[in-house]
Chain A
């Protein structure tokens, strides 16, 4: 047994075991479960970070079989980066949830919606966490499908912990989209297995899938995963679901859950399909650009706090898809000509794009938690109702502002470094369209963040009723926001880990 086996086991099976502990239904089992899950996930991701830095990508042959008969866990820099940011966000949200759901000693009855939410948030979230870590580490197509199903069921259930009719409907819609997406993915898996006789991502990459059936599989799996990632124009389910869920669930869904299917998309398009075709990459980038504009404009038009943040997620996810065409800069000048993409991958686009995904996870979790604090305090969600809340919750206000700073891409945040790298790549490749989109998107982000801050600072219409917010909830939001705002300073370490394995780890 080497470090790889130990740390991958901790990252996947630690949270899974913790979910079973949390199922005990007593206040202490919930706390023990969250502590065990956070601890094993943090230990696993840090251990793998060290391991991968030292010896490059590592693997764990589950059952001792290895591909193609067995299932392999596989960790490269991309996996480790996603694991780590999920662990950090997850630990903070777990801490936050202990206070948000109120007095845990009253949850035995489970009769009130609040009691049920307190009781079932932890087991659902820990199952989801195990599934996410499983996705980041999986090197097997069918295993990805099973993990995705855990992810989808638990995520939809987190939305319906909120009892309003709107949240129930939003959760149902999310579940339907998620299940249909899984089915499309599964059909793609079936076609690939029929055609190439393997489920291992690495063997598939070696087979360099091409031809009509390979293309059909990629199309099916891309539509399925794009729906789960809420890529424009399949995003309509996201704002009501993320805005309607309880605050800790919103933070997790926006910050890390959508990244699970995004991770699979990146793995498929680049590691397995070797970039597919230039035309396909440009299409994905175009959808990302549309998402940035559409999501940002709609965020500006919202009248409720959490919906602004939810639409901002639609927009920010767009940036992650702008990375697709920029990774193969040679394809940009060709104006959409199809054909195999260039094998020369752009390190700038890769590190910039993934850094944006990481910083969005930190910033968005902080913003949803800060928003959760504000709505917790006034028990209202409209922008008007949070007027003047900045004076009573200065820490949450600061957390929201710092998160917004990172989203908008102002220095020294990680969002700044990520956007700057993408911009540099776009400029050097002559892709002026992408330069314009990135810039406009940044300005719109500043606009909707300022819109929220202006309401929060508005002294004239300070609301009367105010519920005190536990300090732990304020600290959790602020710490994550600080991490997002200062990650840019320590970006070098992230670059080093992301280049372990790089864009195409199996070539």
Chain B
């Protein structure tokens, strides 16, 4: 084992760049810049490019005038059935009624990404001001005082507006997440941690709400997520609210919980690459290597 895989070398360079006063240019370059020396030979780049040119020409020719030459059957059908969806914005109708199952799975993708990011590394390391500093910075404090309540109100409004106008839960969730990240980085709010049960419950709430509503209507309408007569609007509004909050929490998690380099728990770097994939010791009673040991 040598080079970049060597745990010792890995730790040593990490320590050097942290304690060093100046910018370690030799180290910055490979991380933040890419001089292209790792890319394949230039001939390969050109050959892949030449392969893709005819594909592009074919696709462009095939797509030429496509929008005008086809029958707009689906837009007509959507316009015809929109009154039955309980909302007047056709996009919201598609997302929460016609194709509500896709939206359910879409939030499940967010949950999957969040759980996957949690599984990558321990705890969280947030970049930001030292705790309590936001109060001493008048400009920042003013921005926070103004921006965060505005974002919150706008998010509520966007969620409600989604049933009739171009807006909805995902836009609102993104806005809320922006406010959350701002508060976290300014250290006004403790970042939500993966270990906190409320975080898990809210993050799961979007999918859970969808599945529970879907199953609850099953005995009445005979199909998953088929809203009973007259219930579509309130159910959609409730689902949108749960979605907005869940999306916001998940996006903040995806922001604060990605790993940092180097990982502080140095035990991870001393894993024997030939042994147990989870880095466990062979003997069941053997103590794991002390993380604080030099």
Say yes or no: B222 contacts A5, CB within 8 Å: yes
Check: B207 CB closer than 8 A to any chain A CB: yes
Partner-binding segment picked from B101-109, B139-147, B165-173: B101-109
Given A13-B211, A113-B278, A216-B59: A127 and B115 within 8 A (CB)?
Answer: yes
- The CB with the most chain B CB atoms within 10 A, among A2, A64, A116, A120, is that of A64
Shortest C-beta distance, A130 to chain B (Å), equals 7
- Chain A residues with CB below 8 A from B290, complex form: none
Partner-binding segment picked from A164-172, A387-395, A454-462: A164-172
Task: Name the residue on B nearest A116 (C-beta).
Answer: B119
Interface residues of A in 82-134 (CB under 8 A from B): 101-102, 108, 110-114, 116-117, 119-120, 123-124, 127, 130-131, 134
Check: A147 CB closer than 8 A to any chain B CB: yes
Interface residues of A in 122-151 (CB under 8 A from B): 123-124, 127, 130-131, 134, 142-143, 146-147, 149-150
Task: Name the residue on B nearest A26 (C-beta).
Answer: B197
Check: A222 CB closer than 8 A to any chain B CB: no
Given A120-B119, A134-B105: A465 and B223 within 8 A (CB)?
Answer: no
Given A5-B218, A63-B101: A24 and B200 within 8 A (CB)?
Answer: yes
Task: Name the residue on A nearest B273 (C-beta).
Answer: A164
- Chain A residues with CB below 8 A from B275, complex form: 379-381
Check: A154 CB closer than 8 A to any chain B CB: yes
Task: Name the residue on B nearest A10 (C-beta).
Answer: B215
Complex-state Cα separation, A6 to B275, whole angstroms: 45
Shortest C-beta distance, A97 to chain B (Å), equals 12
Say yes or no: B98 contacts A20, CB within 8 Å: no
Task: Name the residue on A nearest B228 (C-beta).
Answer: A64
Complex-state Cα separation, A191 to B58, whole angstroms: 12
Task: Name the residue on A nearest B77 (C-beta).
Answer: A69
Say yes or no: A124 contacts B115, CB within 8 Å: yes
Partner-binding segment picked from A155-163, A313-321, A335-343: A155-163
Say yes or no: A62 contacts B112, CB within 8 Å: no
Task: Name the residue on A nearest B78 (C-beta).
Answer: A69
Say yes or no: B273 contacts A23, CB within 8 Å: no
Say yes or no: A150 contacts B74, CB within 8 Å: no
Check: B280 CB closer than 8 A to any chain A CB: yes
Shortest C-beta distance, A257 to chain B (Å), equals 14
Q: Among the listed A61, A111, A157, A198, which residue makes an inter-chain contact with B116, where contact means beta carbons less than 8 Å apart?
A: A157
- Chain A residues with CB below 8 A from B276, complex form: 375-376, 379
Say yes or no: B282 contacts A161, CB within 8 Å: no
Q: Among the listed B108, B223, B279, which residue makes an inter-chain contact with A64, where contact means beta carbons less than 8 Å apart?
A: B223
Task: Name the residue on A nearest B73 (C-beta).
Answer: A197
Complex-state Cα separation, A196 to B212, whole angstroms: 35
Q: Among the listed B58, B105, B265, B280, which residue makes an inter-chain contact with A216, where contact means beta carbons less than 8 Å apart?
A: B58
Task: Name the residue on A nearest B72 (C-beta).
Answer: A197
Say yes or no: B279 contacts A467, CB within 8 Å: no
- Chain A residues with CB below 8 A from B200, complex form: 23-25
Complex-state Cα separation, A411 to B219, whole angstroms: 47
Complex-state Cα separation, A142 to B120, whole angstroms: 29
Task: Name the residue on A nearest B281 (C-beta).
Answer: A379
Q: Among the listed B78, B224, B274, which residue makes an inter-chain contact with A13, where contact means beta carbons less than 8 Å apart?
A: B224
Task: Name the residue on B nearest A8 (C-beta).
Answer: B224
Shortest C-beta distance, A272 to chain B (Å), equals 18
Check: B123 CB closer than 8 A to any chain A CB: yes
Partner-binding segment picked from B62-70, B127-135, B151-159, B178-186: B62-70
Complex-state Cα separation, A379 to B279, whole angstroms: 9
Q: Among the listed B70, B204, B271, B273, which residue makes an inter-chain contact with A113, where contact means beta carbons less than 8 Å apart?
A: B271
Say yes or no: A379 contacts B282, CB within 8 Å: yes
Say yes or no: B105 contacts A113, CB within 8 Å: no
Check: A437 CB closer than 8 A to any chain B CB: no
Task: Name the residue on B nearest A13 (C-beta).
Answer: B211
Complex-state Cα separation, A101 to B119, whole angstroms: 14
Check: A68 CB closer than 8 A to any chain B CB: yes
- Chain B residues with CB below 8 A from A380, complex form: 274-275
Check: A205 CB closer than 8 A to any chain B CB: no
Say yes or no: B118 contacts A120, CB within 8 Å: yes
Check: B226 CB closer than 8 A to any chain A CB: yes
Check: B40 CB closer than 8 A to any chain A CB: no
Say yes or no: A382 contacts B274, CB within 8 Å: yes
Prevailing SS type, chain A contact patch? helix
Check: B288 CB closer than 8 A to any chain A CB: yes
Check: A9 CB closer than 8 A to any chain B CB: yes
Say yes or no: A127 contacts B112, CB within 8 Å: yes
A-B CB pair tally, cutoff 8 Å: 217
Q: Among the listed A71, A194, A382, A467, which residue makes an inter-chain contact with B99, where contact means beta carbons less than 8 Å apart?
A: A71
Say yes or no: B277 contacts A245, CB within 8 Å: yes
Q: Mark B37-76, 1 if CB is under 8 A from A, else 0.
A: 0000000000000000000001100110010001111100
Complex-state Cα separation, A300 to B104, whole angstroms: 45
Shortest C-beta distance, B173 to chain A (Å), equals 18
Check: B225 CB closer than 8 A to any chain A CB: yes
Complex-state Cα separation, A161 to B277, whole angstroms: 8
Given A146-B102, A161-B278, A375-B276: A111 and B122 within 8 A (CB)?
Answer: yes
Check: A334 CB closer than 8 A to any chain B CB: no
Say yes or no: A244 contacts B97, CB within 8 Å: no
- Chain B residues with CB below 8 A from A123, complex form: 115
Say yes or no: A63 contacts B278, CB within 8 Å: no
Say yes or no: B197 contacts A165, CB within 8 Å: no
- Chain B residues with CB below 8 A from A378, complex form: 282
Interface residues of B in 220-274 (CB under 8 A from A): 221-227, 265, 267-268, 271, 273-274
Task: Name the residue on B nearest A377 (C-beta).
Answer: B282
Check: B125 CB closer than 8 A to any chain A CB: no
- Chain A residues with CB below 8 A from B12, complex form: none
Say yes or no: A212 contacts B62, CB within 8 Å: yes
- Chain A residues with CB below 8 A from B211, complex form: 13, 16-17
Interface residues of A in 8-42 (CB under 8 A from B): 8-9, 13, 16-17, 19-20, 23-25
- The CB with the most chain A CB atoms within 10 A, among B119, B208, B279, is that of B119
Check: A246 CB closer than 8 A to any chain B CB: yes
Say yes or no: A9 contacts B62, CB within 8 Å: no
Q: Mark A234-255, 1 if CB is under 8 A from B, else 0.
A: 0000000000111100000000
Say yes or no: A149 contacts B122, CB within 8 Å: no
Check: B194 CB closer than 8 A to any chain A CB: yes
Say yes or no: B66 contacts A13, CB within 8 Å: no
Task: Name the residue on A nearest B120 (C-beta).
Answer: A160
Given A61-B223, A62-B223, A110-B122: A165 and B101 within 8 A (CB)?
Answer: no
27 A-B contact pairs sorted by A residue (CB < 8 Å): A1-B219, A1-B223, A20-B204, A20-B207, A20-B208, A25-B195, A63-B226, A71-B101, A71-B102, A110-B195, A111-B122, A113-B278, A117-B278, A143-B99, A150-B105, A154-B116, A156-B116, A157-B120, A164-B273, A164-B279, A191-B63, A194-B70, A197-B73, A197-B74, A378-B282, A379-B281, A381-B275
Q: Which residues of A contact B (CB under 8 A)?
A: 1-2, 5-6, 8-9, 13, 16-17, 19-20, 23-25, 60-65, 68-71, 101-102, 108, 110-114, 116-117, 119-120, 123-124, 127, 130-131, 134, 142-143, 146-147, 149-150, 153-154, 156-157, 160-167, 191, 194-195, 197-198, 212-213, 216, 244-247, 375-376, 378-382, 465, 467-468
